Amino acid sequence: MAEVLRKEAFIIPEGMVYLDGNSLGPMPRSVPDRVARTMTDEWAQMLIKGWNKAGWMALPEEVGAMVGRTIGAPEGSVVMGDTLSIKVFQALASAVKMRPDRRVILSDTGNFPSDLYMAEGLVGLLGQGYALRTVAPEDVAGAMTDDVAVVMLTEVDYRTGRMHDMQAITKAAQDNGSVMIWDLAHSAGAIPVDILGSNAEFAVGCTYKYFNGGPGAPAFIYVRPDLADAVEPALSGWLGHRQPFDFDLNYTPGNGIERMRVGTPPILQMAALEAAMEIYADVDMHDLRAASIALQEQFIEEIERDVPQLTLASPRDSKNRGSQVSWRFEHGYAAMQALIARDVIGDFRAPDIMRFGFTPLYLDRNDVSRAVKVIADVMHNDLWDREEYKTRARVT
Ligand SMILES: *Cc1c(COP(=O)(O)O)cnc(C)c1O
């Protein structure tokens, strides 16, 4: 197994154990220079010429290819842009059009709310009896009735880290005649994904989590290569047009995955993300997965030994778990604030989940042990039991 630890590639404040790369990855050391160069050498000097001269217009496909290599997507099947919520809507809108005689979008109650909200918005817009149906995660396979047009799921549960069986569910959906959309928000950059091998029609994901692209980094969308020239983009923006600079009055979808572009790409964010993605160029996702599991197992073992107040909320079997470990604790919000005040950074998810993400690119065994010591101190001495830790901030 090749070493995946590359702490020197990231800037992490001295003394901090960062267990929140699953919400916002830390900044890669290469990013500030890259963004500065894009600003000073490109934007400042080239101005409008940058779109051609600096290759800005090609970045959504070029960076898409870098993302694609980590999820088993062939060249030309992934494009960057917008935010994940928008990409969810875009995939859903294209998918329902592929099954015009069916009216149901099936998802699960473990999905991230924004995905469900976007589906709600779409069915409201479509009218005509379209509906979103959500069932418990373990009931998805049994809920595939012949009215289901689209199955939309997030592979790794954002709260508990529980994983769906991507291959089995995709097969069940397609055997049922439904179109499959996978949200890879907590998979991409964290676990090996074989999206082409899964045969799913669509996948979407974000890049500010495990890929460390920075706050507001663009999302990605994958369309199975055999469908890319057939899908109808509902968000038919000019940069998804075949010839945007013909300024045609009517929309003609672009070639292949390009049609999933919408409007002007965020070039500064794209530059930051491109620099961040270079870290993945020589990382084997199976090695990364093995290292992540080793850290998670160490964490579970040490917490269960030293901090019995916490109850494991994640699947115990590592093969059913993504790259995070979550615990239930009644005063989880305050406890997490107390940890954050002591530079052990995780996050809280209502109602009672303390969530810790593991990224072996910049975390090692010592970091895990250090975090467990602080958690034990906070829990054994009730250090969380202070007013200042109980007031909810806008972002938890
Ligand atoms: C993080 C996350 C999102 C966030 O969507 P944005 O539009 O990027 O804010 C959406 N869905 C899932 C499953 C997520 O984990």
Query: Hey, what domains does the chain have and what are their CATH numbers?
Result: 7-28+284-389 (3.90.1150.10), 55-281 (3.40.640.10)
Which atom from ligand 1 is nearest to the alpha carbon of 158?
15
Residue 203: per-residue pLDDT: 99
Active site residue 352: no
Contact 213, 275 (CB under 8 A): no
Q: How far apart are CA 257 and CA 260, in angstroms?
A: 6
pLDDT at 395: 87
Question: How do 344-345 and 324-328 pair as beta strands?
Answer: unpaired
C-alpha 368 – ligand 1 centre gap (Å): 27
Catalytic residue flag (residue 112)? yes
pLDDT tens digit sequence for 174-217: 999 999 999 999 999 999 999 999 999 999 999 999 999 999 99
β-partners of residue 156 are 163
Question: What is the β-pairing status of strands 78-80 and 179-183?
Answer: unpaired
Among 112, 186, 204, 349, which is best to mutate for testing ligand 1, by the most ligand atoms less than 8 A from CB?
112
The answer to whether the pTM exceeds 0.95 is yes
Structure tokens at 100: 């015009």
Q: Which residues pair with 11 in a beta bridge?
A: 27
Any residues with CB less than 8 A from the CB of 205 and at least 6 apart, and which?
67, 71, 84, 87, 183, 184, 185, 187, 188, 219, 220
What residue owns the CA closest to ligand 1's atom 15? 185
Question: What's the 153 CA to ligand 1 centre distance in angstroms?
Answer: 12
Contact, 48 vs 56, CB < 8 A? Answer: no
Tokens of 332: 């989880």
What per-residue confidence (pLDDT) applies to 43? 98
Bridge-based pairing of strands 353-357 and 324-328 is antiparallel
278: Cα within 13 Å, side-chain hemisphere: 13
Our CA angle for 328, 157, 125, nearest 5°, is: 125
Q: How far is CA 212 from the centre of its chain?
A: 11
* CB atoms near residue 364 (< 10 Å): 13
- Alpha carbon of residue 284 to chain centroid: 18
Which residue among the candidates 82, 157, 183, 367 is catalytic per the annotation? 183
Whether 208 is a known active-site residue: answer yes
Cis before 351 (ω within 30): yes
3-state secondary structure of 179: strand
Q: 299 by DSSP, 3-state: which? A: helix
Cβ neighbours around 217 below 10 Å, total:
24
Q: Which of 235, 259, 236 is nearest to 77 (CA)?
A: 259
Distance CA 26, CA 330 (A): 29
Buried b (16+ CB within 10 A) or exposed e, 285-324: beebbebbbbbbeebbebbeeebebbeebbbeebeebbbb
Best CA proximity match to 222, nearest among 282, 186, 168, 180? 180
Query: Ligand 1 pocket by C-beta < 6 Å: which residues?
Result: 83-85, 112, 114-115, 154, 158, 183, 185-186, 206, 219
Per-residue pLDDT of the chain (396 residues; tens, 9 = 90+): 789 999 999 999 999 999 999 999 999 999 999 999 999 999 999 999 999 999 999 999 999 999 999 999 999 999 999 999 999 999 999 999 999 999 999 999 999 999 999 999 999 999 999 999 999 999 999 999 999 999 999 999 999 999 999 999 999 999 999 999 999 999 999 999 999 999 999 999 999 999 999 999 999 999 999 999 999 999 999 999 999 999 999 999 999 999 999 999 999 999 999 999 999 999 999 999 999 999 999 999 999 999 999 999 999 999 999 999 999 999 999 999 999 999 999 999 999 999 999 999 999 999 999 999 999 999 999 999 999 999 888 888
**C-alpha 112 to ligand 1 mean position (Å):** 7
User: How many Cβ atoms sit within 10 Å of the Cβ of residue 199?
Assistant: 15
Q: Catalogue the E-assigned strands of the chain.
A: 10-11, 17-18, 27-28, 78-80, 104-108, 131-135, 148-154, 179-183, 202-205, 220-223, 311-312, 324-328, 344-345, 347-349, 353-357
